[in-house]
């Protein structure tokens, strides 16, 4: 009897004096400090790294191309995720409570879902761009230009916005789960549940573009290998025009390879979350909260890794970073500086 009272007294709540408050997971100061250090580091890299990509592509005229316009828009999505989503998700994950109120919970969830879906759309459009650049180079300039890139970007932002805000604000995602939502709802929580229909639709928005991208990159890889063998047989030719064409082909293939790595990292980061979210609804939401939170953060880390991939594979990114850090971008005509050899 006494031990039962002691156990009840040791339970922590998000709001001690509020009825139906969520239970708070107790963590030591050391655990919380370590978690905050890791999450803050991830937020800073996400915001800082993507900000460098945004400034670089926006400032340097040499980087103004239809493909880089898509990369810029993707970096903006990752930057906004790091600025407006991750800090609040960090507090929720460490404190195991949501202290920002129910209205902001909806806004946060909508923006989170919006930016994730936007990234999927952009990666799909980037794959299409690389397909024409590598597989149909003679038609690339006609098929993919600045106007087409802006159409892709508009679609990549408008449709996810309608999908995310429409789904959550109409509560279409939890229709049929009202009793379960009522049972699980408590002060200090920020709950998002999907019924079977919307869990399936949410999975389709991820898996359908991903399978399409995989198919495109398999095709790109096959064509790139054939082109590499062809270039190798022409190495003894020294005409400047052929050298320029060979250089251009190598650049396109390298860009396709790098963006293929970006897509692969995206799959590794987000595939576990979307797989679990699709299956969990059929298992009566049996995934432990801590496991689900880890899967969400694995997805978030994708936005942290993208600029690191650029830094590792793109020389122009490293040179642009140096010019930005040393404030040389404020020099006259700095926008015309060459970041790579044409």
Contacts 24+ apart (CB under 8 A), 136-142: 137/249, 137/252
- Vertex 334 angle, CA 332 and 336, to 5°: 120
List phi, psi (to 5°) of 23. Answer: -80, 135
Sign of the torsion formed by the C-alpha atoms of 164, 166, 168 and 172: negative
pTM, whole model, 2 decimals? 0.86
Asked if residue 7 belongs to a domain, the reply is no
Asked if residue 14 belongs to a domain, the reply is no
Expressed as residue numbers, the domain containing 245 is: 24-336
- The Cα–Cα gap between 90 and 36 comes to 7
Asked if residue 295 belongs to a domain, the reply is yes
Q: Which residues contact 67 (CB under 8 A, 6 or more apart)?
A: 126, 129, 130, 133, 144, 149, 255
User: What pairs with residue 24 in β-bridges?
Assistant: 12
Which tens digits make up the pLDDT trace of 319-333?
888 899 898 998 888
In the chain, which residues have pLDDT < 70?
1-10, 227-229, 231-259, 342
What's the pLDDT score for residue 239? 47
What's the pLDDT score for residue 91? 94
Asked if residue 12 belongs to a domain, the reply is no
* Inter-CA distances, 150 with 71, 154, 155, 278, Å: 12, 6, 9, 32
Which tens digits make up the pLDDT trace of 139-193?
888 889 999 999 999 999 999 999 888 888 887 777 777 777 787 788 888 888 8
Asked if residue 4 belongs to a domain, the reply is no
What's the pLDDT score for residue 4? 38
What's the pLDDT score for residue 240? 47
Asked if residue 120 belongs to a domain, the reply is yes
User: What pairs with residue 187 in β-bridges?
Assistant: 21
DSSP annotation of 144 reads: S
- The Cα–Cα gap between 282 and 20 comes to 27
| 105-135 per-residue burial string, b: 16 or more CB within 10 A, e: under 16 | bbbbbbbbbbbbbbbbbbbbbbbbbbbbbbb
Q: What is the CATH number of the domain that holds 215?
A: 1.20.1070.10
In the chain, how many domains are there? 1
What's the pLDDT score for residue 94? 94
- The Cα–Cα gap between 258 and 126 comes to 11
Asked if residue 219 belongs to a domain, the reply is yes
What's the pLDDT score for residue 283? 85
Asked if residue 342 belongs to a domain, the reply is no
Sign of the torsion formed by the C-alpha atoms of 120, 116, 172 and 291: positive
């Amino acid at each position: 009897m006494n031990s039962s009272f002691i156990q009840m007294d040791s339970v922590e709540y998000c709001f001690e004096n509020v009825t139906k408050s969520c239970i708070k997971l107790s963590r030591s100061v050391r655990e919380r400090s370590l978690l905050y250090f890791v999450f803050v580091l991830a937020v800073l890299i996400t915001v800082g790294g993507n900000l460098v990509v945004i400034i670089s592509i926006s400032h340097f005229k040499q980087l103004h191309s239809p493909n880089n316009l898509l990369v810029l828009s993707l970096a903006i999505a990752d930057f906004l995720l790091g600025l407006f989503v991750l800090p609040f998700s960090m507090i929720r994950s460490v404190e195991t409570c949501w202290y920002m109120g129910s209205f902001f919970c909806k806004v946060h969830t909508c923006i989170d879902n919006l930016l994730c879906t936007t990234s999927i759309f952009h990666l799909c459009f980037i794959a299409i761009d690389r397909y024409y650049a590598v597989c149909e180079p003679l038609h690339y300039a006609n098929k993919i230009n600045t106007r087409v890139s802006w159409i892709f970007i508009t679609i990549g932002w408008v449709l996810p916005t309608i999908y995310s805000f429409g789904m959550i604000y109409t509560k279409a995602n939890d229709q049929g789960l009202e009793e379960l939502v009522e049972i699980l709802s408590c002060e200090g929580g920020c709950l998002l549940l999907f019924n079977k229909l919307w869990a399936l639709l949410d999975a389709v928005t991820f898996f359908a573009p991903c399978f399409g991208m995989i198919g495109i990159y398999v095709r790109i890889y096959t064509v790139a290998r054939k082109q590499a063998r062809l270039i190798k047989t022409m190495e003894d030719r020294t005409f400047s025009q052929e050298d320029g064409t060979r250089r251009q082909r190598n650049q396109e293939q390298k860009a396709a390879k790098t963006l293929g790595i970006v897509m692969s990292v995206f799959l590794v980061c987000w595939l576990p979350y979307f797989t679990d979210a699709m299956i969990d609804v059929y298992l009566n939401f049996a995934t432990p909260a801590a496991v689900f939170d880890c899967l969400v953060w694995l997805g978030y880390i994708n936005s942290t890794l993208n600029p690191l991939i650029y830094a590792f594979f793109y020389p122009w990114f490293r040179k642009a970073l140096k010019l930005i850090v040393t404030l040389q971008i404020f020099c006259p005509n700095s926008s015309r500086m060459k970041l790579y050899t044409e």
